[in-house]
Structure 1
């Protein structure tokens, strides 16, 4: 299953010729839609409060949750529950950046899904905007 998800993710990357995707050390891929100035060296660390917005989309493009449905979220880095890919992805972002992540299911909601709209073993795309780091 992991190999099939990776293949599907790599196909998305191959089709998106205008984007440069990075392969994270944590098992997911990401590309910057809006990048902060290189002089901005502040990334979220444990205990920081981040404010962000995101959506959740299946790899085939079907929207599961829109940014409007989810709303603006606040999250204390590594001190609250959030799915592992998002927890790790937020730490790669700087204030004002927008990043699209491609998460295999084991970095998303895994075997259980979210017990609502996300089924078990669903790989996801998510576009995240980091509004602030406090």
Structure 2
């Protein structure tokens, strides 16, 4: 019995020594760690953009790239006049993966949100600057502009690009 216990402890210790320690969220990272993370995100973004473009090529609807690195189904969308800071907007959106599976049953809704004072996905906030009242647009978003490397800690995993159907009321 002592031999089994000794071998088990020895096995656990030998497995544990190869684990790399990671600093906590908000912890200090070395320049090398930051460079590795930056390169990972750059490569991930390039792969996601390639996969999204392949998906677009198979669709009957045309999508147009924007300056913020997402696509929208309205030509010249981000060349429109921007809504100013502190203006109010009510909107809703639904989230889909690229298999076109709806992620949440209910849309995410905001009433009378004030620009410059609300926290939203980068791509959604940017698209809201250009959308007209009553207009509905579909945006295709790489994970870096969606929920990134952590996901939403509910149904959306890390590094998931999204299809967002956004409507301004």
TM over 0.5: yes
Higher RCO by CA contacts (8 Å cutoff, separation 6 or greater): 1
Q: TM-score, with normalisation over the residues of structure 1?
A: 0.81
Distance 1:112 1:80 in 2: 20
User: Alpha carbon RMSD of aligned pairs, Å?
Assistant: 1.9
Q: Could you tell me which residue of structure 2 aligns to residue 38 of structure 1?
A: none
The alignment covers a number of residue pairs equal to 121
| Structure 1 stretches of 4+ moved >6 Å | none
Q: Could you tell me which residue of structure 1 aligns to residue 110 of structure 2?
A: 73
Unaligned runs of 5+ residues in structure 2 are 1-43
Structure 1 or 2: more helix by fraction: 2
**Aligned CA distance change for structure 1 residues 4 and 71 (closer, same or farther; 3 Å):** closer
Distance 1:5 1:43 in 2: 27
Displacement of 1:87 after TM fit?
Answer: 0.7
Structure 1 residue 24 and structure 2 residue 57: aligned? no
Unaligned runs of 5+ residues in structure 1 are 36-40
Larger radius of gyration: 2
Q: Could you tell me which residue of structure 1 aligns to residue 167 of structure 2?
A: 129
Displacement of 1:129 after TM fit?
Answer: 1.0
